[in-house]
Amino acid sequence: MDRMTDEQLMDKLRNGDRDSIDELYRRYAKKLYVYFSRVMKVPDPEDLVHDIFIRVIEKAKQFNPKKASFRTWLFRIAQNHSINLYRRQKILKFSSLEQKIGQNSSGSGLHIKDTLEDKSQSADESSLILAVRECIGELKKDIERQALVLYHIFGKNYKEISDLFKKSISAVRKYVVSAEAKVRHCLERKGIDAF
């Protein structure tokens, strides 16, 4: 199996050969571990690596070597899994969207970076944060949504995101700026005076 390409191993996996996943694991587990620990800053990445290979088995029939290499497909699964994990944990930290978008009853402003985990939020603040989450969820282009989440939630800079996406830094900047504008517009449609 050492001499087989990743795509050939995936073909065998799709046809029921479970040994091929062992070889793919041998080739990519360490790379995924580094990706989760260093790039995504996940404190305990080992479980996530196992989760990704379970996903590979589950999604094996969806893999299309004409659309992407196995490596690209694998890391797209890892990236999406990371984003979904953070969404489930309700982390909403927007570091560069610091502008106040409303005043609470105490007169202090609410920032988009505030999280849903903060139990001291008023009903208005919680509604606002839910609106922001909905607007992010409504972004139609996956790459814009992912760039926005990586930039604002994960705190990645444009260079780090460009390396992940294999895109230029200027392209990543355009994705983030476009997504920010769409989120602002969405909030305005909801009657929220954003920024």
Q: For residue 93, is it within any domain?
A: no
Question: What's the structural domain count of the chain?
Answer: 2
Q: For residue 174, is it within any domain?
A: yes
Q: Is 71 found in the same domain as 106?
A: no
Q: Is 82 found in the same domain as 131?
A: no
Q: For residue 1, is it within any domain?
A: no
Indicate the pLDDT class of residue 93, thresholds 50, 70 and 90: very low
Question: Token digits for 9?
Answer: 């191993």
Per the CB < 8 A criterion, the answer to whether 61 and 14 are in contact is yes
Alpha-carbon distance of 18 to 37, in angstroms, equals 27
pLDDT digits (tens, 9 = 90+) for 8-28: 999 999 998 989 999 999 999
Length of the chain: 195
Q: Is 130 found in the same domain as 51?
A: no
- Please report the pLDDT score of residue 173 as a whole number: 92
Q: What residue numbers bound the domain in which 53 lies?
A: 6-88
What pTM did the predictor assign? 0.49
* Strand (E) or helix (H) holding 101: strand 100-103
Q: Is 176 found in the same domain as 124?
A: yes
Q: Is 56 found in the same domain as 137?
A: no
pLDDT digits (tens, 9 = 90+) for 118-157: 444 455 556 777 777 788 878 888 888 888 878 876 778 8
- Please report the pLDDT score of residue 194 as a whole number: 54
- Please report the pLDDT score of residue 13 as a whole number: 93
Alpha-carbon distance of 149 to 35, in angstroms, equals 16
Indicate the pLDDT class of residue 106, thresholds 50, 70 and 90: very low
How high does pLDDT run on average in the chain? 77
CB burial readout 110-144, b (16+ within 10 A) else e: bebbbebeeeebeeebeebbebbeebbeebeeebb
